A and B are shown apart, each in its own frame.
Chain A
Amino acid sequence: MQNDQLLALFSGVLLALGLVAFFMGRAKAARVRADGVAMHAQPDQYAWFTVLSTAGPALLVSALGAFVMLLLGASIPLPYLLAASLIVAAGGLTVGIAQVRPDFHARKAIERVIRWVLVAAALISIFTTFGILFSIVFEALRFFQMHSFWDFVTGTVWNPGASFLAAAGRAEEGASAAQFGSVPLFAGTFMITAIAMLVAIPIGLLAAIYMSEFAPQRVRTLAKPTLEVLAGIPTVVYGFFAAITVAPIIVGVAGFFGLDASFNNAVAPGVVMGIMIIPFISSLSDDVINSVPDSMRQGSLALGMTHGETIRDVVIPAALPGIISASLLAVSRALGETMIVVMAAGMRPNLTANPLEDMTTVTVRIVAALTGDLEFESAETLSAFALGLVLFAVTLTLNLVSVLMIRRFREKYRVNNL
């Protein structure tokens, strides 16, 4: 039999057993109750308990079997595994029916199971983080076995070109040895991030100031969701916009000033990324500025300060931890942004301070390394994980610092909605 059919059969039998369990459990409980015995739970609750005791262990057994196969490489024939599960299910059914007794707390038993299921769900997010961490670290370690960590961190030449030859055992044929110096990639990443921040922080912060301090209520209720639209636009769309519309404009403007700009310059993705990030900064800053207690503003105004001075010297300093926190989150976002740079920035690792030249970023190289027809074992493919590891470490740090800052702000002013 095909595996699919086997699985369908298994599910069908299990479902049938479940139904049997439900009705038998309920019938027995109803019978007991009809005899006038006080029970700890409702018949339906007993019924559900029998279903759980039938299906739960059976599913556990099959899941366990699947894991044993995956992890230990042992091969258990599928029919045997499923048959074993069904036997367990039948056993569970018998035990479940036997448990339908007046002194048995069926509801409590069900709720204990539910609680564990909820805990398991909550743990999945932890597993996700560890999954990311392990998958990256594990592959990155393999990369660092091939190339020295020190060269990766300090090297200024990124030239993975010949690594596929090495992977194929033909290293001698390559013209030059592959080099994995990540400095130019990080330089490019930071250049584009810096440009994005130069656009996003001033515009986002000023827009937040206008919305929270000056704007009439009507403008405010309209402007905030409108700005959020900017954050909802998919990054691939921004990438297209940067490459097709903004980059030629930058080249044209640079040409007007007699400067030579590449069509893959760093300014176009930087500016577009900045636009994308504006709402991150404005939205969080707006919330933070709004939660600066009004007594601060009044205290300043009552001293004869103008509205502008109050904002500059009292409100903004009070909101500063929150604003910095928003900016850090924005930086973290810009560092990890992929599509805009993949589509609009260059592919060539280029260590330069001129934003009009083409340069590449960490995320671009990760994508480049994983989309070619390369052997997974090659150093170039694995280098993606090494780059990912650094990206993970940097963004994790930024996020944690940001969370700590916002928490300090929250405790200081006892605001709960941030």
Chain B
Amino acid sequence: MSQTFDDISAQLRRRHRRSARLKWISMGALGLAGLFLVLFFADMLSKGLPAFQQAYVQVELEYNEDAQRMGREAMEPEDAKIVSRSFERLIPGMLRDDPDLLGTTETRWVLANGEVDQYLKGHRSKLSETERQAVDEKVENGQVALKFNTTFFSQGDSKMPERAGIMAAAVGTVMTMLVTLAIAFPIGVMTAVYLEEFAPDNRLTQIIEININNLAAIPSILFGLLGLAIFINFFGVPRSSPLVGGMTLALMTLPVIIIATRTALRSVPDSIRHAAFGVGCSRWQVVRDHVLPLAMPGIMTGSIIGLAQAMGETAPLIIVGMVAFIPDVSASFTQAATVLPAQVFTWAGEPEQAFVEKTAGGILVLLAILIFLNATAVILRKKFERRW
């Protein structure tokens, strides 16, 4: 009455093939996503790693009278063509600070200009043919070389690519994140504690919950509009400052911290609460002394992830004016500052070829920080993960 195994197997052949095809296609999709990731990092590394090296020239400096007014007078004319103008500008100041230098000569390594740097790295360069030959000659004599780029890590922005660095942006990022964390962490944790441990299950609580989920999905640029209209125009917080940027990002990070904290609180079993209630603790004492300490690793993990997210955010900061040209490190929460991603954005808009590698270099630094933060979060979670 029924078919034999062989009959059925024969009918099944096509269906098995189709099933296997789904497996391979889906595996391919995952592989493709992985490939994107690899290509992306390879591209960033190949573009950005050269930024960590910079061309330097060894020049003879003769500190004469003319150099007090025009720095380039201290150099041979053909040296002056390949030295960064940023260095030339320093010479008069050096002489003013240290009058003893006048009349002496010195041989030292100084920053080459961006075109020499790009030429050495094999990129497009505006150097003329004779200048190229001169540079080639100096390279053979060991007078021009690529060295580790300390400027990139110690200076602020500059219109001269060889002089541009990420320091100002890094300091801006740290200050902005301090503001963000100072606002978002306590409010986020308190909100989560209220919702998880205190709130009655009523309309208001439900509205708050829906609202938090919704806030997490609102486009970041709209937070920028809020920052502009309310913080800057209404409350008069200074534009472009780490304060306004941090406040704006804090509101954006809030839902992340709330959701992470709630998950952490929820994973503390009720038996702990019951035990604490049993020895006569009040609700607040239970939370403060028993639940919060146990949930802390989860809260920290969530906060770090939220912080990493805020650190990479650019769009709302553009709106509140944090994409500014900041050549000097500022140390005030109310002065104009910029942050790493905004610095990347600014450089990406510069027309010179040399800024492409600065941009990618800045990206590599930013990615390294984010990877470090996320790895910390993962390790924290692994280390304190607890099964009840």
Interface residues of A (CB under 8 A from B): 70, 107, 110-111, 114-115, 117-119, 121-126, 128-129, 131-132, 135-136, 138-139, 202-207, 209-211, 213-215, 223, 225-227, 229-230, 232-237, 239-241, 243-245, 275, 278-279, 282, 304, 306-309, 311-312, 329, 332-333, 335-339, 342-343, 363, 366-367, 370-371, 376, 384-385, 388, 391-392, 395-396, 399-400, 402-403
Contacts and interface: CB of A to CB of B under 8 A. Distances in A.
B187 A227 contact: no
B194 A233 contact: no
A107 B37 CA distance: 55
16 contacts: A115-B198, A129-B211, A132-B223, A135-B225, A202-B29, A207-B33, A214-B27, A229-B37, A232-B370, A245-B43, A308-B18, A332-B217, A332-B219, A336-B221, A388-B221, A403-B213
Nearest to A223: B30
A210 B222 contact: no
B32 interface: yes
Interface string B219-230: 111111110111
Contact of B222 (A123, A132, A138, A203): A132
Central interface residue in B22, B255, B312, B344, by most chain A CB within 10 Å:
B22
- At the interface, is chain B mostly helix, strand, loop or mixed? helix
Contact of A226 (B34, B220, B255): B34
Nearest to A371: B318
B22 A209 contact: yes
A207 B195 contact: no
Interface stretch (B52-60, B140-148, B292-300, B360-368): B360-368
Contacts of A232: 308-309, 312, 370, 374
Central interface residue in B29, B208, B342, by most chain A CB within 10 Å:
B29
A333 B26 contact: no
B348 interface: yes
Contacts of B26: 206-207, 209-210, 213-214
B51 to A, nearest CB: 13
Contacts of A363: 219, 221, 315
B12 interface: yes
- At the interface, is chain A mostly helix, strand, loop or mixed? helix
Nearest to A336: B219
A278 B33 contact: yes
Contacts of A119: 194
B204 to A, nearest CB: 9
Nearest to A245: B43
Nearest to B348: A240
Contacts of B186: 121
Interface in B295-325: 308-309, 311-315, 318-319, 323
Given A124-B254, A233-B367, A395-B217, 16 more contacts: A117-B190, A206-B25, A207-B29, A210-B29, A215-B30, A232-B312, A233-B370, A236-B348, A237-B367, A240-B344, A240-B360, A241-B40, A339-B345, A363-B219, A370-B319, A371-B318
Contact of A306 (B15, B284, B313, B341): B15
Contacts of A333: 217, 219
A122 B211 CA distance: 10
Contact of A388 (B44, B215, B225): B225
B284 A114 contact: yes
Contacts of B348: 236, 239-240, 243-244, 343
B284 A136 contact: no
A135 B230 contact: yes
Contacts of B30: 206-207, 210-211, 215, 223, 227
Contacts of A237: 44, 312, 341, 344, 363, 366-367
Contact of B21 (A121, A138, A308): A308
B233 interface: yes
B191 interface: yes
B133 interface: no
Nearest to A339: B314
A119 B194 CA distance: 7
A332 B367 CA distance: 25
B85 interface: no
B234 interface: yes
Given A207-B26, A339-B314, A241 B44 contact: yes
B82 interface: no
Contact of A385 (B187, B225, B251): B225
Given A111-B282, A391-B222, A125 B341 contact: no
A22 B53 CA distance: 59
A282 B33 CA distance: 10
Contact of B226 (A135, A204, A225): A135
Contacts of B40: 233, 241, 275
Given A125-B208, A214-B26, A244-B47, A230 B314 contact: no
A139 B230 CA distance: 11
B20 interface: yes
A14 B116 CA distance: 61
B277 interface: no
Nearest to B374: A232
A336 B213 contact: no
Contacts of B359: 240, 244
Contacts of B37: 226-227, 229-230
Contact of B218 (A205, A311, A396): A396
A384 B43 contact: no
Contacts of B222: 132, 136, 336, 388, 391-392
Contact of A128 (B8, B193, B254, B378): B254
Given A227-B33, A309-B19, A126 B207 contact: yes
Interface in B182-198: 186-187, 190-191, 193-195, 198
A385 B21 CA distance: 49
B219 A210 contact: no
B10 interface: no
A119 B202 CA distance: 13
B138 interface: no
Given A227-B33, A237-B366, A395-B219, A107 B22 contact: no
B22 A311 contact: yes
Contacts of A311: 22
Q: Which 3 A-B pairs have the closest CB atoms?
A: A336-B219, A308-B19, A234-B312
Contacts of B210: 400, 403
